[in-house]
Structures are given as structure tokens and as C-alpha cells.
Structure 1
Amino acid sequence: MREKLTSILEYQFFNAEIGERTYSFSVLEVVIILFIIGITRAAIWLIQRALDNRVQRKRIDPGKAYAITQILKYLLWTISIIYCLDYLGVKITVLLAGSTALFVGLGLGLQDAFKDFVSGFIILMERTVTVGDIVEVDGIIGKVLEVGLRTTLVQTRDDIYMIIPNQKLTNEHVINWSQSKKVTRFSIGVGVAYGSDTRLVEKLLLDAVNEHKMISKTPAPTVQFIDFGNSSLDFKIFFYSANLFRIEAVKSDVRYIIDQKFRENNITIPFPQRDLWVRDYPRTGSPLEPESKENNE
């Protein structure tokens, strides 16, 4: 039985000469390679599980855990692939030296891809953008779902998925709404008619935002009397919210509440008005009337 098992493991199902070298693969070598792959997958799973537990215990934030997982995943797979090739007798140094011309050609044709890979590594290391962040790119606001080595997957507020090259996130102007704080300040502007009680307007605006459950009580909302407009007294209410991704829905709810409170307290939101003055021209000598025949003669 032992001899039979040994013969099966030593059976070579691939034997070929490539250049001056002969390459052969036995069943045992394939089993070892599969074992290495399995160990690599198990190690990655254990690392991810350990980081998830730390996230649940709030010992590490999710963005940092994701970055560590991605970096270790790429590192472990690279080491495993190199070890497998070396175990099969493929000399990496010889392979790289013989493929220099190929790599030069690929480098010229894949410059943008290489830049994306470098940018992805920088993003994962510096964590300028991480999973769960709300970012604004080219005026489009979205939530980061996945950060890869080459691209980043972002979900917009319209539930459209954008695949953004990583070099765009490192080389261009990008706003990260959730990088430094858990809550961000937003504002809503409104104008009221001249003659309105400005202190009452301030109170109603504060009551409106404090009624919404998605608006943070700390820091407290504030109201500013912005300006004396052409047709209205202009106010702006500032508030903080952690619901960065769906903040437009929060603003809409607050506007409904403001409108209802203004109606209940007889506060008018004016619309632009213009006065039109019409002058009467004297009938005699009016430029709109032709001269009389007597004057023409």
C-alpha cells in the first residue's frame, strides 16, 4: 500500500524541455502547491477574522482594518506565488532577466495601469480614502465600497456604481467628507418677508432641525441672519449630521418642517416682485402719433 501511494505521488504527468532546462511536474508537487495555496487562503481568512473581531470590539476602525487586510492579502499571495515557482524549479531572477524587453514594452503600454497600482498602494498605506468614506469626485458624491490596487468602487446617491482609477484619487482634487470627523456641518438657506419677526424666525428654524432624528444635538445647530435681500430677509440654519450619504433626504425633511412651522406662525416666504411704472405721453407731439397734415404743409 505504501509503495503504491509512493508511486502515485511520484508519477510525473508533465515533462517538457523549455530551452536548456527540463521541467517536470509530479503529483506530489501539485499536492504541495495546492497545500501552499490552501495555507495562504487560511492565513488570510484568519487575519480578516481577527481584524473583524477587533472592529466589533471598537479597538480598530473599519477603514484601517480593511487597509491592513488588503495589504497583507497582496503580500501573502505574492510570497506564495514566488515560493511555488521556486519550488517547481523556475528561477525568478533568470525569468526576470530574460523578460526585460517584454517588461519594457509592457511598461510603455501600461503606464496608466502602473500609476493606478502605485496610487492604490499609497491609498491603502496612507488611508486617505477608505471603505465607508463619503467622497466627492468631479462634483459627484458617493460612498466608497471597495479600494483595490488599481481601481476604487464608489456608489453614488443615485445608486450608480462608479469605477474610479486610483491615480484620479491621488492626483486630482478629491473631497473626503468623512475623513476627520464622524459628523459634518451642512446648511439650509431660507428667505422671509420684510416685516417678519426675526427672532421668531430664528426659533422656528432651530425647532425644525431639532425635531429631525438624523441631526446631531452636539454641536448644537445655529442660525445666522445672512443679509437684507432684494425681496427677503435671508437666513441660514447650520447643523451637523452623521448621515453624510443621504443628507439630501435629511435636508428635504427639514424643509418640509420649516414650511409647516412658517405656515402655522404666519411667516411668509416671499417671491421676487417688480414694480412696473408706465408713463403717459402727451397726445400732442407724441412720438407715437404722425404729424398733422397742416404741419407737413
Structure 2
Amino acid sequence: MFPKIRDFLHYPLITISGGDITPGSVIVGVVVVFLSAILASIASRWLRTLLGARGLSHGAQFAASKILRYSVVLLGVLVGLSSMGIKLDALIAASTVLAVGIGFGLQNVVQNFISGLVLLIEQPVSKGDFVKVGNAYGVIEDIGLRATQIITRDEVTIIVPNSELIASAVINHSRPTTNLRIQVTVDVSAKCDTALVRDTLLEVGAKHPEVITTLGVEVRLDACNEPAFLFVLLVWIPDPREDLRIASDLRFAIEAAFKEKGIEGPIPERINYHRAGLPRALREN
């Protein structure tokens, strides 16, 4: 029985560049690749723990562990192919033909793969960063070899090809700090006391518990056209992901403060006419 098993394991299935591939060599190669994947996972977790103990950021830990995992798996694949009887020098010799195939059929895949390596090495964006890609805001969940996963405010996952993050404009709200200045626009009647409006807005902005008052609270008068004046309250917040909620809190507080101090808004039926003359960015706020 054992001689038959040995003969089966050594039976040449195919010969590539003088190297025989047998069932036994295939089993050995698969086991080597499988073990390399396990080793890569263990090494990746170990490196993240080590870097975390040294105080490196989560993004740097993620990038370093990912590169280590890919390197160990690649080494395992090469060793596995060699164990199967495939000569690596033959693969290198065939790389020219492979490059032609890549140029015609796998160009986008290779482009995204290289872009993924650039993202992991240069780290213009990292895991956990809050970014804007196109019209979507979200947190980077994972940077893979082909694409990056971004989870939006609505808990929807967007798959973005890595090449787009390299070639397109990406706004990273987590660099160099997570501080973000938000603007809240307010229309008031042109008959109101502008100094009272300014002081009220400054008071409301300074009272919000999540506003970074040390960075300053600012009020601007952006338009003085009849029938309304347009004021803008600018405040700094520590977490860009909370901009919509904090802006809403400020609007509620502003309305309550205006009612308390008798500050009137503009004539409702003329607001659209008034705002139509403003720059588009202000009309949309």
C-alpha cells in the first residue's frame, strides 16, 4: 500500500522548464502557502502590538502590519511554487510575456495594487481617518490591495479604487489635526442692532460644550442687502464627524437666544430674493 502511495505522490503531473510537478509537491506547496498565511497573520498582530506599545498612531500600525503581512504571504507563495517544482528563474523569464498580458487585460488591477502600496507607505490617508471623497464623507475602514473601504455617516460602505485616492482630490479632516471650523449662517432683519446680533452669536458659540473656545469664536457680517443682514458664526470643533450635529445645536440655541432678546428675522417672502444675489456657496448653507 505504501509503495503505491509513494508512487502516486511522485507521479509527474506536468513538467515546466525541466521541473516535474507531482501530487506530493502540490500538497507541499499548498501547505507552505497556508502556513505562510497563518504566520503572516500572527506576525501582523505581533507588529501592531509592538508598535502600539511604542506609541505609534493606529494608522501607522495598520500600514506597517499590512505591508508585513503582504511580504510574508508573497514569500510563502514563492517558496510554495518552488516546493511544487516550479523554477522561479523560469517565472522570471516568462515575466515579459506576463507584462504584455498585464498591459492589455490587467492594467487597472496593477494600477490599483501599486496605488495601494503607495497609500500604505506614504500614508496620505490612514485607517480611521475621516475623509471626503467626491461628495461622500466617511471613515476609512480598510486599505486593501485593490480598493479602500470607506464607511459613510449613514453606515454605508463605499468601495473606492486605490488609484482614485491617489489621482483625485481627497480632503482628509484628520490631518494635521481633527479640529474643524464650521460655519452657521443666520439671516436677521436689516432693522436689528448689528452689535447685539454679533454679541448674541458670540455668546451662543462660546456656550456650546463641544466648541473649542481657545481657538476663538468669530462672527462675520457677510451681506448687508435689504431686507436682511447675513451673519456667519464660525467655531472650532474637535471631531469633524460631529459637524452636522453641533451646527444643528447652534441653530437651535441661536433661535432661542434671538427670541429672548427680540432679534427679528427678515421678511419670509423676500428671503429667497435676497439670498439669490449671494454667492452660491453662501446660498447653499
Structure 1 outlier segments of 4+, above 6 Å: none
Distance change (3 Å), C-alpha of 1:166 and 1:35: closer
Counterpart position of 1:51: 48
Distance change (3 Å), C-alpha of 1:50 and 1:171: closer
Counterpart position of 2:107: 111
Counterpart position of 1:22: 20
The 5 A counterparts of 1:1-297 are 13=9, 15-19=11-15, 20-26=18-24, 30=27, 34=31, 37-38=34-35, 41-42=38-39, 44-52=41-49, 54-55=51-52, 59-98=55-94, 100-271=96-267
Q: Deviations over 1:204-240 (max 9, x none)?
A: 2223233333322331222122231232122111111
Structure 2 unaligned residues grouped into runs of 5+: 271-285
Structure 1 unaligned residues grouped into runs of 5+: 1-5, 275-297
How many Å apart are 1:132 and its aligned residue?
A: 1.4
In structure 1, how many angstroms separate the alpha carbons of the residues matched to 2:197 and 2:251?
A: 14
Higher RCO (Cα < 8 Å, 6 or more apart)? 2
In structure 2, how many angstroms separate the alpha carbons of the residues matched to 1:92 and 1:215?
A: 60
Between stretches 97-106 and 250-259, larger displacement belongs to 97-106
How many Å apart are 1:73 and its aligned residue?
A: 1.1
Distance change (3 Å), C-alpha of 1:211 and 1:41: farther
Between stretches 229-238 and 191-200, larger displacement belongs to 191-200
In structure 2, how many angstroms separate the alpha carbons of the residues matched to 1:225 and 1:51?
A: 50
Contact kept in structure 1, 2:40 and 2:70, CA below 8 Å: no
Distance change (3 Å), C-alpha of 1:54 and 1:114: closer
Q: Deviations over 1:90-147 (max 9, x none)?
A: 1112134246435422431111111111111111111111111122222222221111
Counterpart position of 1:290: none
- Quick check: which one's helix share is greater? 2
In structure 1, how many angstroms separate the alpha carbons of the residues matched to 2:69 and 2:234?
A: 43
**TM-score w.r.t. length of structure 2:** 0.81
Over aligned residues, Cα RMSD in angstroms?
2.9
In structure 2, how many angstroms separate the alpha carbons of the residues matched to 1:90 and 1:35?
A: 14
In structure 2, how many angstroms separate the alpha carbons of the residues matched to 1:211 and 1:11?
A: 83
Between stretches 241-250 and 163-172, larger displacement belongs to 241-250
**TM-score w.r.t. length of structure 1:** 0.78
Q: Flag the structure with larger Rg.
A: 1
Distance change (3 Å), C-alpha of 1:13 and 1:209: farther
Contact kept in structure 2, 1:187 and 1:236, CA below 8 Å: yes
How many Å apart are 1:30 and its aligned residue?
A: 4.6
Q: Structure 1: which amino acid aligns with 2:120?
A: L
Distance change (3 Å), C-alpha of 1:49 and 1:270: farther
Between stretches 40-49 and 249-258, larger displacement belongs to 40-49
Distance change (3 Å), C-alpha of 1:273 and 1:21: closer
